[in-house]
Each structure stands twice: as C-alpha cells, then as structure tokens.
Amino acid sequence: MIKTKQEIVRQLKSDIPLFAKFSEELLDKLANSSRIVSFEPNESIVHYGTEATHFGVILTGMVMVSVIADGGTRLELGRLEAGSTFGELALTTGEKTQAELIAETRCEVLLIPVSVFQSIIVAEPQAMQHISRTISGRSRILAADPAKSAAALRQGDDPYGFKLKGERPEHILVVNCGSSSLKYTFYDTEDEGRHVRGQVERIGLEGTCHVHRGSKGEVKRELPGSGFAGALAAMVEALRGEPEVSVVAHRVVHGGERFTEATLITDDVLTQLDALSPLAPLHNPVNIAGIREMRGLLPAVPHVAVFDTAFHHTLPSYAYLYGLPYEFYEKQGVRRYGFHGMSHSYVCLRAAQFLGRRTNELEIVSCHLGNGSSLCAVDHGRSVDTTMGFTPVEGLIMGTRCGDVDAGVITFLERTAGLTVQQVDELINKKSGLLGLSGISSDMREILRAAEAGEARAMVALKAYCYRIRKYIGAYIAAMGGLDVVVFTGGVGQGSAMVRLLSLQGLDYMGIRLDEQHNRDARGFDEVCRVSTNDSKVTVLVVPTDEERMMAREALRALRR
C-alpha cells in the first residue's frame, strides 16, 4: 500500500532515529521532495562503484550489503533492517559507493535526493552527529572481521577466482553425464599444468567410443555395448595412472529453487534431486544416475553437485514469473530458472579480468551460443535475466529446440494435427530450431555453407537465429539500463564470425561497433579476443568458456562450507 505524506512523516519521526528531533516542517519538506520506491527480493538498490544520487531510508523490509571478495565470490558484509539508512559515507566524502545493496525481502525505501540531503539534513547538527556515529559504528564492525575488511578494501591475490585452491591439495574429477555421452576432466590443485580429460560418445548405441587424453597422450578405444555403468567404469580405469581422485564434481542441470549453490551430495540430497526430475526429465535423471554409479565406484571420496540453474537464483521475481495463475508457481514451481550458469559465470569473470575491471563494475550481456543457446543479462556480477526459462527450450532459436513460441501454437497443433504430449515434446526439443527451419541440419557450420550456396531456407534460418539474439541484446540493455560488454562464447559464439556479425548488425546506435577484420581474425577457441572497434562504447569480446574449471572451483568451495 502506498503511504500518504502524513504517514511518511509519522514514520520518520517515530521509527527513524536520525529524524527523531526534526521539526514537523522539516519532515514535511523531506517527504514532499523525496519518493518511495519498492524493491522486490533480489532486486539491486545500490550498485558498487556508482555516484551517490540519493540518501536512502529503509521503511520496510531487509537489505543485504555485499561486495565481490577475493576469488570473485559475493561476500555479505551485513544486513540493514527497517529504520536503517544508507548512502551516508558516499554523500559525505564524495566517493563512489563501496558496496552493493540488494533487497533480501520486499522493501520500501525512501529516496532523498542529494540536494535535499545537503540543504536539510546536513544543516542539522544533531543529524550530522548521528550520521558520523553510524559511519563509525559500521567501520568498527567491518574492521573487527579481517576477511570482510580485506574484501571491502579489494585485497587478495585471486580477484576472479580462477585458481583452484583448497584447504589441502585436491585431485578433482569433474563429470558431466549427457543423454548419450560422458565428458570428464581431472584437475590437480598442486599442478595446474596437468591436463587430463576425456569423453565417451554414443553410450547405449552402436559404436560407443572412449577417447582419453592424459599424460601419455591420446588413447582411443571402442566400448561395444556399454551403458553408463560401463562408460564410467572405463573412465575410472583410464585415470588409474593419475593421482588418486579426492573429490568428484557432478553437473546437475536443474537445482530448482532449493539448490542455489554447489552442494555436498548425501542420500537426503539425492532424494531431493529425484523430486526435481519432473522439472528436467531429459537431463536430471541421467545426471542422478551418473551420481549414483560414481558413488558406488568411488565411495570413499566426497561427491558434489554443481547446478546449471544456480547462477540465476539472483533473478528478481518480476523477471522469473510467467503471466500464469500464481498458484502454478506456488504449488508446481512453474517459473523461469535459466541454464548455462557455469558458462555465463565463467566468461563474465574472464571478460572482467581481460578488461582489468571487477565484475560488479560491469553490465554484461553474455551470449552462450552452441547447439543449446542462451543469453544472460549480468548486471554488476548478478544474473538479472536470461533467455532460457522453466526448461532449456525457451528463448533463442537453437540447433533442434524452437526457442520462444506462442503457447497457443501448441494447443493448435494438438487440436488440428492430433499431436500427443510426447510428440509435442519431441517436436520442440528435437525437430525444431535450425534443423526444422532449414530442413538441412542442426549444425550451424552446415547452415552457413548452405546459406552461402544460396539455399533460401538456410538463409532465413540463419537470419532468424541472429535476429533473435539481436532482439534480446536490445532487451537486456533496457533491463539493465546500460551496457559495457557483449561476450560471445560456446561453439557457435566462439567459432562463427558471421553469426557475431549478423547478431550485432544495426546496433551502432547503442554504442556497439564491430571491427570486421578483428572479428574475422578472432581465435575464439584459443584466447580472449576483442572484436569491437577502438571507439566502440561497448566492448565486444569472444571468450572461450570453461565450465569444467568453474565446476571444480565450486566443488572446492562446497567442501569449505
């Protein structure tokens, strides 16, 4: 409910110590010159490193104060309750804000403009004494915690968290079980030059093949008739020449609202993961089966679940809710979850490192383009919107997934073509996207060759694919209120200069200018490449993703918690 001016004045007088001795006339002037803004949970109230434009008074709710600490993780410095104020230090010193304020619950905040703060509040001696005490008290609390103090002062030797450091030496096995494939990577925290990885393709099908790349080079062998149990056993056998595995990190596609960070796997956690399988029936059951098999093969070591959805738990409710009856969210969890979290998180950190900036100083649109594709709006280090939704089908046109489609089309096809639920599922997941539009292939490389040869459907598929990306980039600039960086990653994002060119075509007026020569020359699988012009207001980067390293990092952090 919107407060009247009289209610604001009464609350300032009775509930906010700063204003206890202000006259009714002064409080009346404050109320007339200020505005109340409501913030939803996870919505940013103040960004790090910005000019202070208002003095804030929290009327209702709870606000979390945080910074990006050493290692690129968010560190909570404290909480502000109703009755608290913020912006004192920045307004009195003229410095930029040193922390971020994020709504933890729904909040109402009175925002008092700088000019009003200076003309009314600064002119009251008792008010300035109260503000000085507030600043001193918060400084003492911060100084009493060395870790928080170091984070606030930007100290540390690993600001982006790319070093794999545990409380003791660790040998980390990262496992990613797909529908018919297994990929794995082995990390040694004492020898980061050790590169061991492998994959098993066509599991459960004819021609199952295992490729292992380790200290002795590449070894390839057939695994006739192998299911996942055989594939995982072959992986463990291939690793016998390496140091003994001490922790296993498992990729789990869907963590729902329950799992918002990497989690040590117990029997209870497995039960909860089973309950989430209806949210991702094509992915989670395979992930969970792999976990159970690996716990049997390596029972003496900890196993950690790392979730694709976790990075997006910072979405505010207005970004994740659909326009459906609210009870579908409350009872069945129908909402936007988002995916590709490890990739979006990693490339944003790499982009910040490349630019010599902190992630919480930047507004980034991350474009993960592969057979599955998604964009993510990363506002000062936090995911605030993403194109994939309740499932990985929503959003961009992909290899075989349709992306955004009018829900009425589904009911129309059920009525007129007699499609069953299973047929609809197969249609939107396996028969649509580039494959469905072109009638040629789901592989962007083949689409590009066909388009260059003049195939009309390949050309329109390519244009539709890139148009959808371009449209979402524009939408996310609006969502964040600005843009510093566009990042391209994933097989298509790193590998296709044409897709990058078409996706950014016509965005010069938004400050995005592509250098076509740099774009063509970019070695997107080898290094971070800047492909924007020198005078482009927005930096465009091609960044090789490394989801496995992020999974290993998150597993180590789960062990420390």
For the domain that residue 458 is a member of, what is the CATH number? 3.30.420.40
User: Would you say 395 is a known binding-site residue?
Assistant: no
Residue 342 lies in a domain: no
- For the cut 90, the answer to whether the pLDDT of residue 194 exceeds it is no
547 is in an annotated binding site: yes
Looking at every residue in the chain, the average pLDDT score rounds to 93
Q: Which of 121-135, 337-351, 392-406 has the lowest mean pLDDT?
A: 121-135
- Distances from the Cα of 3 to the Cαs of 8, 35, 121, 264, in angstroms? 6, 10, 22, 46
Q: Is 56 annotated as a binding residue?
A: no
Average pLDDT over residues 406-424: 96
* 3-state DSSP helix/strand/coil % of the chain, to nearest 5: 40, 20, 35
Q: What pLDDT does 366 receive?
A: 98
306 and 185 in a common domain: yes
For residue 203, the enclosing domain spans: 171-335+549-560
- Span 56-80, pLDDT tens digits: 999 999 999 998 877 778 889 999 9
Three-class SS string for 481-545? CCCCEEEEEHHHHHHCHHHHHHHHCCCHHHCECECHHHHHHCCCCCCCEECECCCCCEEEEECCC
- Is 163 a member of any domain? no
pLDDT (0 to 100) of residue 215: 81
Are 426 and 400 contacting, i.e. CB atoms less than 8 angstroms apart?
no
* 251 annotated as belonging to a binding site for a ligand: yes
**371 pLDDT tier (thresholds 50, 70, 90):** very high
pLDDT at position 402 over 80: yes
Distance CA 277, CA 288 (A): 9
- Quick: pLDDT tens for 158-168: 888 898 987 88
Alpha helix ranges (H) inside 254-362: 267-276, 284-297, 317-320, 326-332, 341-355
| 227 and 140 together in one domain | no
In a domain, 157, yes or no: no
Count CA atoms closer than 13 A to 478's CA, side-chain side: 7
Show which of 123, 152, 181 is a domain's final residue: 152
Sign of CA dihedral 511, 515, 519, 523: negative
Same domain? For 542 and 553 the reply is no
CA 294, 295, 298, 301 torsion: positive or negative? positive
Q: What number is the average pLDDT over the span 83-102?
A: 92
> Using 50, 70 and 90 to split pLDDT, how confident is the model at 470?
very high
Dihedral in degrees, nearest 10, Cα atoms 282, 286, 288, 292: 160
- Residue 129's CB: how many other CB atoms inside 10 A? 10
Give pLDDT, residue 195: 80
* Nearest CA among 230, 240, 236 for reference residue 209: 230
Q: Is the pLDDT of residue 141 over 90?
A: no
The span from the CA of 99 to the CA of 102, in Å, is 10
Q: How far apart are alpha carbons 456 and 560 in whole angstroms?
A: 55
One domain for residues 424 and 485: yes
Residue 343 lies in a domain: no
* Shared domain check, 180 and 138: no
Above 80 in pLDDT, residue 151? no
Q: Between the ranges 86-90, 130-134, 541-545, where is the mean pLDDT highest?
A: 541-545
User: Among the three residues 124, 152, 180, which one is the final residue of a domain in this structure?
Assistant: 152
Do residues 436 and 450 share a domain?
yes
Asked whether residue 158 is domain-assigned, the answer is no
Domain boundary among 152, 180, 206: 152
178-193 pLDDT, tens digit each = 888 999 999 999 988 8
**Going by C-beta distance under 8 Å and a sequence separation of 6 or more, which residues neighbour residue 108?**
3, 36, 37, 38, 39, 58, 59, 60, 61
Residue 154's pLDDT band (boundaries 50, 70, 90)?
Answer: low
Amino acid 3: pLDDT: 77
pLDDT surpasses 60 at 278: yes
Instruction: Look at residue 17 and tell me whether its pLDDT is greater than 70.
Output: yes
Higher-pLDDT residue of 351 and 143 is 351
- pLDDT average, residue stretch 463-491: 98
Under the banding of pLDDT at 50, 70 and 90, the label for residue 153 is low
| Nearest in space to 102 (alpha carbons), one of 40, 57, 53, 42 | 42
Is residue 340 domain-resident?
no
200: left (phi over 0), alpha (psi -120 to 50) or beta: beta
**DSSP H or E segment with residue 202:** none
Confidence of residue 548 (pLDDT cuts 50, 70, 90): very high
- Give pLDDT, residue 405: 97
162 within domain boundaries: no
Comparing 154 with 530, which gets the higher pLDDT?
530
What mean pLDDT do residues 303-307 have?
98
- pLDDT attached to residue 474: 98
445 is in an annotated binding site: yes
Q: Find out whether 183 is annotated in a ligand binding site.
A: yes
Task: For residue 530, report the phi and psi dihedrals to the nearest 5 degrees.
Answer: -85, 125
Q: What is the pLDDT of residues 432-462, one digit of tens each?
A: 999 999 999 999 999 999 999 999 999 999 9
Same domain, 353 and 497: yes
Averaged pLDDT, 376-383: 97
Round to the nearest angstrom and report the end-to-end CA distance of the chain: 40
> Does residue 150 register a pLDDT over 70?
no
Residues 318 and 352 in one domain: no
- Quick check: is 97 in a domain? yes
The C-alpha atoms of residue 416 and residue 236 are separated, in whole angstroms, by 51
- Condensed to tens digits (0 to 9), the pLDDT of residues 1-11 reads 667 888 899 99
Round the CA-based radius of gyration of the chain to a whole number and report it: 26
**Domains held by the chain: number:** 3
pLDDT (0 to 100) of residue 1: 62
Q: Could you tell me if 376 and 277 lie in one domain?
A: no
Is 336 marked as a binding-site residue?
no
**The pLDDT of residue 143:** 79
pLDDT in tens, 210-251: 999 998 889 999 998 788 999 999 999 999 989 999 999 999
Q: What is the mean pLDDT of residues 106-121?
A: 94
Residue 508, annotated as binding a ligand: no
Q: Are residue 384 and residue 396 in the same domain, yes or no?
A: yes
Q: pLDDT tens, 480-495?
A: 999 999 999 999 999 9
Give the lowest-confidence range in 26-35, 133-142, 363-372: 133-142
Residues 373 and 522 in one domain: yes
Q: Is the pLDDT of residue 155 over 60?
A: no
Q: Active-site residue numbers?
A: 308
CATH of the domain at 40: 2.60.120.10
Neighbours of 549 (CB within 10 A): 19
Q: Are residues 395 and 299 in the same domain?
A: no
Tell me 254's DSSP state.
-
